[in-house]
C-alpha cells in the first residue's frame, strides 16, 4: 500500500465524544472492530490519509484481542498506522508483526529535570544550545565519541542502559526511572545480522535525524498539583527532553525480518490484506528470532538515550560550571514508543500473556502497577508526549482506565504533512526567524530538516493530549514550551 492522499470513506460509529468504532463488518476477514481515540476536529485530519484503512487491516491479524486501536496522533505508516496499538493472544495463534513495531525500534523519549528557572539560564541560553549542538552528535549517519568494540556492542544489546551506567555515564537511579529498567530480558544477539552490527557500532550516543531532537523546555502550565509536587516540578522550571531511538541498528533489524518473515504468511496460512503486515505466530521459531533481535534493538536504544543524557549533562556542566547533581539534573522517566512486549492482562476473567504492539504509542501503566518503581506506584507511570518545536510538549501519567487500551496512550502530535510535502511548502529561513521571534533558538544539521519538522507539518499536540486526557487513558500533569531545540 502506498501513502494515500485522498480522504477515506470508512464508516465510523460514534461511541462517545472521544471514541469511534470501525465495525468489523466493514471488511470480510476483520476479526475485531477498529477503535479510534479522537474528537471531531482531529478526525477531519485523520481522514486525510489511509491510516483508518490500516486500522481495519490490522484487525485481520490472527489472535488479535478486543480491537485494533489507534491513538489521536494516528497517521499512515508501514503496515500498521503510526499511533496503532494491537494485542494478540499467543495461545490462540496470536502473531507478532515487525510492521507493528516499525523501523525505528524503541524510538522513545526521556525527560530530565533541572533546578533552574528560565530566568536563571536565559542569558546563557544561546551558548547552551550551541554547546549541546556541538557535543551531542546529530544528523543522518552521525557517529559519536562513545565508540564501542564488537564485544561491547553485544553487551549493550543485553544490558541496555546498564552498560552506559557501568561506564560512568549515569546512575542506578537513572535505571529505576527507565521503562524495563533500561533493558528488556531475552534479547538474542545471535538473531542480529552482521549488517545491523556494522550500522550500530559507531552510532551509540547519537541523536540521529528526522523527528529526533533534544530540547531545552520551560514548564508553562501545571495541571496535577499532587503529581507535580511528587515529581518536584513547578512553573518556570527548566527541563530537557531527548527523543531518539535505535538508529540504523534497529532499522536494519526491521528490514531483515520483514523480508525473512514473508514466507511465514504461506507457511502458517495467514491471510492479511496488506503484505506489509507480514507476521508469524508468537510461539513460532521465526517470531522468537525476531523478538530476540527486536529486544536487542530496544536495549540499544535505551543505552543510546542514556548516553545522550550523559552528554547533555556534561554540556550543562561546561556552561554553568557546576556538577549535574548540583543542577538537579535527574531523570523523570524514559519511555519507548515502538515496541512489542509480552504483558499480562485479564481477558474474559482469565489472566493472559499477550503480545502488545505499540507503534507510535506510549506505555501508560496506572497507579499501583507491579512493573512500576516504588516512587511511581502512587501517581502512575510518567507518560512523556513531545509536540513540535514551535508549540508545546506534555508530561502526563498513566491511569487504571488505560487498561482498556492495554495501558497505551499517544506518543506525540502526529504528522499532518509528509516530510517531502513540508520541505516543498515551508521556507526554513522564514521559519527560523519566526521561531526566534517567539524566543526559540534552533540549531539543526541541515535546513531541510527544519522545514520537514516545521510546526505546520504536525497536528496540534494540545488537541491530541486533550483527547487522551478526556478519554481517561492518561492524566495531564504539566505542559512545557521549547526555548532551545537541537535537530538532526
Of 138, 144, 160, the closest CA to residue 214 belongs to: 138
373-401: average pLDDT: 96
Higher pLDDT, 413 or 201: 413
Annotated catalytic residue within 337, 369, 411, 469: 411
Element (H, E) at 111: strand 108-117
pLDDT at residue 363 in the model: 98
* Residue 411 is among the residues annotated as catalytic for this protein: yes
pLDDT at residue 46 in the model: 94
* Confidence class for position 8, pLDDT limits 50, 70, 90: low
pLDDT at residue 201 in the model: 79
Is-contact 482 412, C-beta < 8 A? no
62-74: average pLDDT: 98
414-430: average pLDDT: 87
Phi, psi for 79 (deg, rounded to 5): 75, -80
Residue 47 has pLDDT above 90, yes or no: yes
Q: Is the dihedral of CA 356, 362, 367, 368 positive or negative?
A: positive
DSSP state, 290?
Answer: H
Return the minimum-mean-pLDDT range out of 267-271, 406-410, 449-453.
Answer: 449-453
CB within 8 Å of 130: residues ≥ 6 apart = 443
Cα 389 to Cα 214: distance, rounded to the nearest angstrom: 10
pLDDT at residue 140 in the model: 46
Residue 6 has pLDDT above 60, yes or no: no
Cα 467 to Cα 163: distance, rounded to the nearest angstrom: 38
Of 471, 394, 443, the closest CA to residue 125 belongs to: 443
Residue whose entry in the numeric block shows the C-alpha cell 476536529: 41
How, if at all, do strands 350-359 and 331-336 pair?
A: unpaired
Q: Count of CB atoms within 10 A of residue 47's CB?
A: 17
Is-contact 22 11, C-beta < 8 A? yes
**Rg of the chain over all Cα atoms, to the nearest angstrom:** 21
pLDDT at residue 211 in the model: 74
Cα 488 to Cα 485: distance, rounded to the nearest angstrom: 10
Helix 194-201 to helix 150-159 angle, to the nearest 10 degrees?
A: 90
Residues in the chain: 488
322-327: average pLDDT: 98
Is-contact 22 46, C-beta < 8 A? no
Mean pLDDT of the chain: 93
Residue 150 has pLDDT above 70, yes or no: yes
pLDDT at residue 253 in the model: 98
Domains observed in the chain: 13-487 (3.90.1860.10)
Cα 45 to Cα 24: distance, rounded to the nearest angstrom: 23
Task: Give the 3-state secondary structure of residue 109.
Answer: strand
Burial 308-340 (b: 16+ CB within 10 A, else e): bbbbbbebbbebbeeebeebebbbbbbbbbbbb
Residue 257 has pLDDT above 90, yes or no: yes
DSSP state, 404?
Answer: G
Phi, psi for 13 (deg, rounded to 5): -100, 125
Residue whose entry in the numeric block shows the C-alpha cell 494485542: 87
Amino acid at each position: 500500500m502506498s501513502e494515500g492522499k485522498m480522504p477515506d470513506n470508512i464508516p465510523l460509529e460514534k461511541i462517545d465524544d472521544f471514541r469511534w468504532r470501525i465495525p468489523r463488518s466493514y471488511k470480510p476477514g476483520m476479526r475485531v472492530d477498529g477503535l479510534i481515540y479522537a474528537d471531531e476536529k482531529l478526525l477531519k485530519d485523520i481522514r486525510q490519509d489511509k491510516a483508518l484503512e490500516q486500522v481495519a487491516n490490522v484487525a485481520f491479524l490472527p489472535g488479535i484481542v478486543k480491537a485494533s486501536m489507534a491513538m489521536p496522533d494516528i497517521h499512515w505508516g508501514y503496515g500498521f498506522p503510526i499511533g496503532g496499538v494491537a494485542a494478540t493472544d499467543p495461545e490462540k495463534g496470536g502473531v507478532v508483526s515487525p510492521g507493528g513495531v516499525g523501523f525505528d525500534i524503541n524510538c522513545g523519549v526521556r525527560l530530565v529535570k533541572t533546578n533552574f528557572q528560565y530566568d536563571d539560564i536565559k542569558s546563557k541560553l544561546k551558548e547552551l544550545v550551541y554547546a549541546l549542538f556541538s557535543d551531542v552528535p546529530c544528523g543522518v549517519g552521525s557517529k559519536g565519541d562513545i565508540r564501542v568494540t564488537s564485544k561491547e556492542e553485544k553487551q549493550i544489546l543485553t544490558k541496555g542502559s546498564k552498560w552506559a551506567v557501568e561506564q560512568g555515564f549515569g546512575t542506578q537511579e537513572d535505571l529505576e526511572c527507565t521503562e524495563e529498567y533500561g533493558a528488556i530480558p531475552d534479547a538474542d544477539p545471535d538473531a542480529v545480522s552482521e549488517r545491523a552490527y556494522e550500522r550500530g557500532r559507531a552510532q551509540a550516543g547519537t541523536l540521529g535525524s528526522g523527528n529526533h531532537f533534544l530540547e531545552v523546555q520551560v514548564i508553562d502550565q501545571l495541571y496535577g498539583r499532587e503529581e507535580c509536587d511528587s515529581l518536584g516540578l513547578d512553573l518556570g522550571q527548566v527541563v530537557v527532553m531527548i527523543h531518539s531511538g535505535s538508529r540504523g541498528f534497529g532499522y536494519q533489524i526491521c528490514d531483515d525480518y520483514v523480508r525473512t518473515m514473508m514466507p511465514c504468511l504461506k507457511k502458517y496460512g495467514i491471510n492479511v490484506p496488506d503484505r506489509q503486515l507480514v507476521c508469524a505466530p508468537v510461539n513460532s521459531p521465526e517470531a522468537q528470532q525476531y523478538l530476540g533481535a527486536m529486544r536487542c534493538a530496544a536495549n540499544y536504544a535505551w543505552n543510546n538515550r542514556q548516553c545522550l543524557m550523559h552528554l547533555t549533562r556534561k554540556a550543562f556542566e561546561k556552561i554553568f560550571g557546576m556538577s549535574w547533581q548540583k543542577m538537579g539534573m535527574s531523570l523523570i522517566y524514559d519511555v519507548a514508543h515502538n515496541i512489542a512486549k509480552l504483558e499480562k492482562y485479564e481477558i474474559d476473567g482469565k489472566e493472559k500473556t499477550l503480545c502488545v504492539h505499540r507503534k507510535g504509542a506510549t506505555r501508560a501503566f496506572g497507579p499501583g502497577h507491579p512493573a512500576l518503581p516504588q516512587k511511581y506506584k502512587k501517581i502512575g507511570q510518567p507518560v512523556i508526549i513531545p509536540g513540535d518545536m514551535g508549540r508545546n510538549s506534555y508530561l502526563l501519567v498513566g491511569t487504571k482506565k488505560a487498561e482498556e487500551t492495554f495501558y497505551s496512550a499517544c506518543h506525540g502530535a502526529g504528522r499532518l504533512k509528509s516530510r517531502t510535502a513540508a520541505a516543498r511548502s515551508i521556507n526554513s529561513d522564514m521559519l527560523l526567524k519566526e521561531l526566534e521571534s517567539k524566543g526559540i533558538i534552533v540549531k539543526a544539521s541541515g535546513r531541510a530538516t527544519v522545514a520537514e519538522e516545521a510546526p505546520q507539518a504536525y497536528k496540534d499536540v494540545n488537541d491530541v493530549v486533550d483527547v487522551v486526557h478526556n478519554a481517561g487513558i492518561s492524566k495531564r500533569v504539566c505542559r512545557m514550551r521549547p526555548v532551545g531545540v537541537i535537530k538532526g
